[in-house]
A and B are shown apart, each in its own frame.
Chain A
Amino acid sequence: MKLTGAQILWESLVREGVTDVFGYPGGAILPAYDAMLGYPIRHVLVRHEQGATHMADGYARASGKVGVAIATSGPGATNMVTGIATAMMDSSPIVCITGQVGSKLIGSDAFQETDITGITLPITKHNYLVTSAEDVAPAVLEAFAIARSGRPGPVLVDITKDAQQSICEVDWEAARPQLTEALDEALPGDGDVRDAIALINAAARPLILAGHGVMLSGAEREIVALSERGQIPMAVTLLGIGGVAAAHPLNLGMMGMHGEAWVNNAIQEADLLIALGMRFDDRVTGNLKTYAREARKIHVDIDRAELNKNVRVDVAIAKDLRAAVEEWLPHVVAPGARAAWLARIDSLKGDSAVRDIQNLPDDGHLYAAHVINDLWRMTRGDALVVTDVGQHQMWEAQYYKHNRSRSLITSGGLGTMGFALPAAIGAKIACPESEVWVVVGDGGFQMTMPELATVVQEHLDINIAVINNGYLGMVRQWQEFFYDKRYAATPISGPNFAKLADAFGIAAATVTRRAEVNDAVEAARRLKRAALIDFQVEQEDSVYPMVPAGADLHKMIRRPSPIVETAAD
Chain B
Amino acid sequence: MLHTFAVYVDNKPGVLNRVSSLFRRRAFNIESLTVGHTETPGVSRMTVVVDTDEYGARRLEAHLYKLVPCKRVENITAAASIARDLALIKVAATGEARTHVMQLVDVYRARIVDVSLESLVIETTGTEDKIDSLLEVLRPYGVVEMVRTGRVAMARGTLPARRAAAPSPQAPVAADTGGDVSHGSV
Contact = CB atoms under 8 A, between A and B. Distances in A.
A343 interface: no
A309 B28 CA distance: 13
Contacts of A304: 58-59, 62, 65
B61 to A, nearest CB: 7
Contact of B68 (A179, A303, A307, A309): A179
Contact of B62 (A125, A179, A180, A305): A305
B163 to A, nearest CB: 10
Contacts of B169: 188
Given A121-B17, A121-B18, A121-B21, A308 B55 contact: yes
A522 to B, nearest CB: 48
Contact of A318 (B21, B62, B166): B62
B137 to A, nearest CB: 40
Interface residues of A, number: 24
A305 B59 contact: yes
Nearest to B17: A121
Nearest to A183: B65
Given A122-B21, A188-B165, A309 B59 contact: yes
A308 B66 contact: no
Interface string B57-76: 01101110111100100000
Interface centre among B21, B62, B165 (most CB of A within 10 A): B62
Given A179-B68, A187-B61, A303-B62, A312 B17 contact: no
B27 to A, nearest CB: 12
Contacts of B166: 188
A189 interface: yes
Contacts of B25: 122
B59 A308 contact: yes
Contacts of B68: 125-126, 146, 179
B55 A312 contact: yes
B136 interface: no
A126 B14 CA distance: 12
B66 to A, nearest CB: 7
Contacts of B67: 126
B180 interface: no
Interface in A144-201: 146, 150, 179-180, 182-183, 187-189
B101 to A, nearest CB: 46
A146 B67 CA distance: 11
Contacts of B58: 187-189, 304, 307-308
A449 B41 CA distance: 53
Contacts, number: 47
Interface in B157-175: 165-166, 169
B88 to A, nearest CB: 33
Contacts of B54: 189
Interface in A117-158: 117-118, 121-122, 125-126, 129, 146, 150
A38 B14 CA distance: 35
Nearest to B61: A187
Nearest to B69: A126
Interface in B58-113: 58-59, 61-63, 65-68, 71
A502 B19 CA distance: 52
Contact of B71 (A117, A146, A180): A180
A179 B69 CA distance: 9
Contacts of B14: 117, 129
Contacts of A188: 58, 165-166, 169
A64 B25 CA distance: 28
Interface centre among A150, A179, A304, A307 (most CB of B within 10 A): A304
Contacts of A307: 58-59, 62
A305 B18 contact: no
B165 A305 contact: no
A308 B166 CA distance: 19
Contacts of B17: 118, 121
Interface in B17-34: 17-18, 21, 25
Interface in B117-166: 165-166
A307 B58 CA distance: 9
A308 B62 CA distance: 11
A121 B24 CA distance: 12
A303 B17 CA distance: 22
Contacts of A179: 68
A188 B25 CA distance: 24
Interface centre among A129, A188, A303, A307 (most CB of B within 10 A): A188
Contacts of A305: 59, 62-63, 66
B66 A125 contact: yes
Interface string A186-226: 01110000000000000000000000000000000000000
Contacts of A183: 65
Interface in A437-468: none
B151 to A, nearest CB: 22
Given A307-B58, A307-B62, 8 more contacts: A125-B68, A180-B71, A187-B62, A188-B169, A189-B58, A307-B59, A308-B58, A309-B55
Interface of A: 117-118, 121-122, 125-126, 129, 146, 150, 179-180, 182-183, 187-189, 303-305, 307-309, 312, 318
5 contacts: A121-B18, A126-B67, A189-B54, A303-B66, A305-B59
User: 3 nearest interchain CB pairs?
Assistant: A304-B62, A305-B62, A126-B68
